Amino acid sequence: MDKAVEVSHLSFRYDTDCVLQDISFHADTGQFFAIIGPNGGGKSTLLKLLLGLLQPQEGSIRIHGKKPPCVEMAYVPQNLALDRQFPITALEVVLGARTRNLSSLGRYRAEDVDRARHALEQTGVLEYESDLFGTLSGGISQRVLVARALASNPTILLLDEPTSCTDKEAESKLLAIIDQLKGSTTIFMVTHHVEVIAPFVNGVLCVHNTALLMDPKEICEHTSFGLYHAPESFKEIP
């Protein structure tokens, strides 16, 4: 099978603070991985490295054999990271994913608007297309951001805690949408709810400065407890 993502001996540090050290893993096309780990463990940094927003100091990342950034990638950021007061509607947010396709006069084409509306329909939030993004609830705005990611027809999808501010119902709806993409799209999803997501995924990447790839069958309620509440002496073991 084609290797969609290949990471080998990746290390990254902010100034002197080493966040990720000697990480290696790969994902085949269509696989779905959960990324778990405590705050400050390097999950979001790993996503930013995969996207090409940060450059690794050591090691390499290959997306379909090429160095990131890659046009086939889409990213769903943490909802809270965006300015809720920004004057932008849900449809305009989704159209952002079609900016690569702007006309020479800097306008969106009719087909881009159709694709954006279709993506909103896919995630079940088309009725909110004219609403201001900042007025939408956490769950709805998260689905708008997923729609934006889908609007660019990605082959690799990265999601950063998409269920952090959603209720159980919104979470299960989001997982159902993502589950439909499995098989055609390679997905990495940062989450703290590993027990919920375990039945859907092909693997669980535990990130805490280093990374350990686990089989979802090995995941139980004690896994996250052990990972998030590990004694300091255990954490220091390389």
Partner 1 sequence: MFWPLVVGLLVSILGGSIGPFVVIRRIAFISGSIAHSVLAGVGLFLYLDRAIGLPMPPPIYGALLAAIVSALCISRGQRYFKEREDSIIASVWAAGMAIGIILLSKTPGYTSEISSILIGNLLWVSPQDALLLALLTLFSLLFTSLNFQKLKLVLFDEDEAFLQGIETKRLYEQLLILVGIGVVALVQAVGIVLAITMLTIPSLLAGLFCSRLSTMVLAAIVFSMISMGCGLYAAYLLDWPAGASIALCAIVIYGIGHGIQRGKKLGKSGIRTHGTRKGTRP
Name the residues that contact partner 1, by CB under 8 A.
48, 51-53, 69, 71, 73-75, 77, 82-83, 85-89, 92-93, 95-97, 99-100, 102, 105-108, 128, 130-132, 134-137, 140, 148
Q: Which is nearer to partner 1, 4 or 214 (CB)?
A: 4
Find out whether 43 and 206 touch, Cβ atoms under 8 Å.
no
Q: How far is the C-alpha of 205 from the C-alpha of 33, rounded, in Å?
A: 7
CB of residue 132 to partner 1, shortest distance in Å? 5
Q: Which is nearer to partner 1, 56 or 134 (CB)?
A: 134
CB of residue 15 to partner 1, shortest distance in Å? 9
CB of residue 45 to partner 1, shortest distance in Å? 13
CB of residue 54 to partner 1, shortest distance in Å? 11
**Amino acid of residue 52:** G
CB of residue 221 to partner 1, shortest distance in Å? 33
Q: Which is nearer to partner 1, 9 or 84 (CB)?
A: 84
Identify the CA nearest to 13 among candidates 67, 53, 56, 62.
Answer: 56
Structure tokens at 62: 């290959």
Q: How far is the C-alpha of 217 from the C-alpha of 233, rounded, in Å?
A: 27
Q: How far is the C-alpha of 111 from the C-alpha of 89, rounded, in Å?
A: 18
Q: Which is nearer to partner 1, 88 or 196 (CB)?
A: 88
58-63, strands of its sheet edge to edge: 17-28, 3-14, 58-63
